[in-house]
Amino acid sequence: MDDQVNIKFLNMQGEINTLKEKVSDYKMENKNLTNRILRLEECEDLRDDQMKVLQKVITNLMKYIEKTNNEKEDKDDQEFQILDIPKATK
């Protein structure tokens, strides 16, 4: 009977050790996943910051293009006025 108890005890110790290894593996995997999540969040923050800068650049570029177009239209209007045949005045 003692041999059967010893065998069961050894089997249980083996199972316990296997479970300890699995728990250790899961802890390591959890730590790795946590680190990946933190890196992804940092990347998202960086992307958001880059998008803000890009949006500002686009906005400023659009303002510049508008201003340049308006100045060109004003210049074209002035040139048209210079080339326009003057009306006879009384």
Comparison of pLDDT for 89 and 59, the residue scoring more = 59
Distances (CA, A) of 73 to 61, 67, 83, 86: 18, 10, 15, 21
* Residue 39 one-letter amino acid: R
Q: What is the pLDDT of residues 11-44, one digit of tens each?
A: 999 999 999 999 999 999 999 999 999 999 999 9
Confidence bin at 1 (pLDDT 50/70/90) = low
